[in-house]
């Protein structure tokens, strides 16, 4: 590859990956701001919102039905120059997203309080959860459409607009939180319900701007009102394994939390604080994964698998450098970040142990993010399902369950966790290097 071509390819990678990474970073920052503002209402309110965010992790698994499948199919068509087919796929994704969102809205609104009671919260938290998640459920169509727009445009390589939309909506969300939670500018103080309303309005803003963008003649993706059964089958063929993978991963994550709870309340609090802080470091990794999905799909659509591999390797280097650099802060000065979430010395100590160890695993984590995104972009979602689920169950959850029976030191649970990350990074690299993903037809 010539120097000029290399520079052009690098420029393309950065133009897709950096905005996507920053957008995902802003997602995490917005969540943290929400938690900080709601936290002033009391511990029960904070718990209700925190658990509500866990429920959204389940919704993300449902969204993977159309997010991953749609990204792989649209990027292939864009790479092949078949924009008409890409637009048909986009419309069918819209149908699927709306159907899934309406089902989620119905279940979430009617069952919100029961969800909290099933987990074992008290009546107070469950009632607050009903106010928060029940209200938030009414905005499910907007939340699902926002994910559709972002990922579809990302598949087309258009991530800059999403970054600017996110900046505007994040600022809007902070303003609305201040207005509706605490009751300013003549509005009634609605507490935790005000936080949910602010979130819904922010998503509505996103969807409005996205709709305006795709309605323009110059948009690479546009509405083409045509239902295609074959298009829907292609989406589900790729999206279903990704959705199953996500659901099992969420379940494994919840089991891992149960292991942590055996070490006491302070250990659980330290883990939650550490997890939130680590999220700031690894959320950009999801942005790089999205970029890898789009780049691989487009290159395979253009029948250039060697370029797909070369661009993915470049994204791995960029993501590893970025996340590795952030990891240094987690290793050397974790306490600086912990004090923003708690003043309890024991919780800070335990959170710092977690952060120091995960800081050492940010580079292999970047490898996992990017290569799992690349494989999904190629349509190899069955491979990512086997790798991620097998690794989580057999290398993290089961060993952690065993370790918890023979030691009272949570340090060794975290050692199991980062060891799994390193091994999984190696497994992903091995599967990617074999190149079987280049032959997949979708």
**Cα-to-chain-centroid distance, residue 211:** 22
pLDDT of residue 340: 78
Give the residue numbers spanning the domain of 300: 3-439
pLDDT of residue 270: 82
pLDDT per position as a tens digit, 10-65: 777 888 888 888 888 888 788 878 877 887 888 778 778 877 877 787 788 889 88
DSSP string across 169-181: HHHHHHHHHHHHH
**Please, what's the largest Cα pairwise distance for the chain?**
66
Residue 41: which residues within 8 A CB-CB, separation 6 or more?
Answer: 181, 191, 192
Which H or E element spans position 271? helix 265-301
The b-or-e profile of 365-382 (16+ CB within 10 A means b, else e) is: bbbbbbbbbbbbbbbbbb
- Among 5-19, 98-112, 146-160, 322-336, which stretch is predicted with the lowest mean pLDDT? 5-19
Which H or E element spans position 108? helix 83-119
Q: How many structural domains does the chain have?
A: 1
Residue 1 has pLDDT above 90, yes or no: no
pLDDT of residue 8: 54
**Cα-to-chain-centroid distance, residue 134:** 22
Q: Where are the alpha helices (DSSP H) in 120-228?
A: 123-137, 140-155, 160-182, 191-214
What percentage of the chain carries pLDDT values higher than 70? 97
The residue with greater pLDDT, 289 or 253, is 289
Q: Which long-range contacts (CB under 8 A, 24 or more apart) does 429-432 make?
A: 429/367, 429/371, 431/371, 431/375, 431/383, 431/387, 432/309, 432/312, 432/371, 432/374, 432/375
Confidence of residue 366 (pLDDT cuts 50, 70, 90): very high
Q: How far apart are CA 398 and CA 391, in angstroms?
A: 10
Q: How far apart are CA 19 and CA 165, in angstroms?
A: 11
pLDDT of residue 3: 43
Residue 272 has pLDDT above 90, yes or no: no
C-alpha distances (whole Å) from 168 to each of 23, 163, 171, 172, 205 are 11, 9, 5, 6, 9
Note whether 78 and 295 are within 8 A (CB).
Answer: no
* CA gyration radius, the chain: 21
pLDDT of residue 246: 86
Residue 346 has pLDDT above 60, yes or no: yes
pLDDT per position as a tens digit, 195-248: 999 999 999 999 999 999 998 878 888 877 778 888 888 888 998 998 898 888
**Cα-to-chain-centroid distance, residue 342:** 25
Residue 6 has pLDDT above 60, yes or no: no
Work out the average pLDDT over 297-325. Answer: 93
User: For the whole model, what pTM was predicted?
Assistant: 0.86
Question: Mean pLDDT in the chain?
Answer: 88
Note whether 310 and 433 are within 8 A (CB).
Answer: no
pLDDT of residue 28: 78
Query: Which of 229, 230, 231, 210 minimizes the C-alpha distance to 221?
Result: 210
Note whether 319 and 369 are within 8 A (CB).
Answer: yes
pLDDT of residue 7: 52
pLDDT per position as a tens digit, 59-84: 888 898 888 888 899 999 999 899 99
pLDDT per position as a tens digit, 144-197: 999 999 999 998 888 899 999 999 999 999 999 999 999 888 888 888 899 999
Please, is 132 exposed, middle or buried when counting C-beta atoms within 10 Å of its C-beta (0-12, 13-18, 19+)? buried
């Amino acid at each position: 590859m010539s120097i000029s071509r290399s520079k052009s390819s690098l420029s393309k990678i950065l133009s897709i990956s950096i905005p996507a990474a920053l957008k995902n970073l802003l997602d995490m920052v917005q969540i943290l701001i929400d938690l900080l503002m709601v936290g002033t209402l009391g511990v029960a309110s904070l718990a209700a919102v925190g658990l509500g965010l866990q429920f959204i992790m389940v919704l993300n698994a449902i969204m993977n039905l159309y997010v991953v499948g749609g990204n792989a199919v649209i990027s292939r068509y864009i790479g092949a120059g078949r924009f008409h087919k890409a637009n048909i796929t986009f419309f069918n994704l819209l149908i699927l997203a709306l159907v899934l969102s309406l089902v989620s809205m119905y279940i979430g609104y009617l069952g919100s309080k029961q969800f909290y009671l099933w987990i074992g919260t008290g009546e107070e938290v469950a009632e607050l959860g009903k106010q928060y998640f029940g209200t938030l459920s009414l905005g499910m169509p907007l939340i699902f459409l926002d994910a559709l727009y972002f990922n579809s445009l990302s598949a087309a390589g258009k991530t800059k607009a999403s970054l600017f939309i996110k900046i505007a909506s994040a600022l809007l969300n902070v303003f609305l939180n201040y207005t509706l939670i605490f009751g300013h500018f003549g509005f009634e103080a609605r507490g935790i319900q005000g936080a949910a309303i602010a979130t819904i309005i922010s998503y509505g803003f996103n969807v409005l701007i996205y709709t305006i963008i795709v309605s323009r003649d110059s948009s690479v993706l546009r509405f083409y009102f045509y239902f295609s059964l074959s298009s829907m089958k292609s989406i589900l063929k790729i999206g279903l394994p990704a959705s199953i993978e996500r659901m099992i991963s969420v379940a494994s994550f919840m089991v891992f939390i149960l292991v942590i709870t055996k070490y006491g309340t302070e250990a659980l609090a330290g883990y939650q604080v550490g997890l939130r802080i680590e999220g700031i470091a690894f959320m950009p990794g999801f942005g790089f994964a999205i970029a890898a999905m789009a780049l691989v799909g487009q290159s395979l659509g253009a029948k250039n698998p060697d370029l797909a591999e070369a661009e993915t390797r470049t994204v791995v280097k960029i993501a590893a450098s970025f996340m590795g650099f952030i990891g240094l802060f987690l290793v050397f000065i974790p306490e600086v970040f912990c004090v923003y979430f708690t003043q309890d010395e024991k919780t800070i100590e335990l959170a710092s142990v977690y952060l120091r160890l995960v800081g050492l695993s940010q580079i292999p984590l970047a490898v996992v993010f990017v290569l799992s995104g690349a494989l999904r972009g190629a349509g190899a979602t069955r491979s990512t399902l086997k790798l991620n689920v097998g690794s989580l169950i057999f290398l993290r959850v089961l060993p952690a369950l065993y370790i918890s029976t023979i030691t009272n030191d949570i340090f060794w649970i975290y050692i199991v966790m980062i060891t799994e990350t390193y091994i999984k990074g190696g497994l992903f690299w091995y599967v990617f290097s074999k190149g079987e993903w280049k032959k997949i037809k979708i």
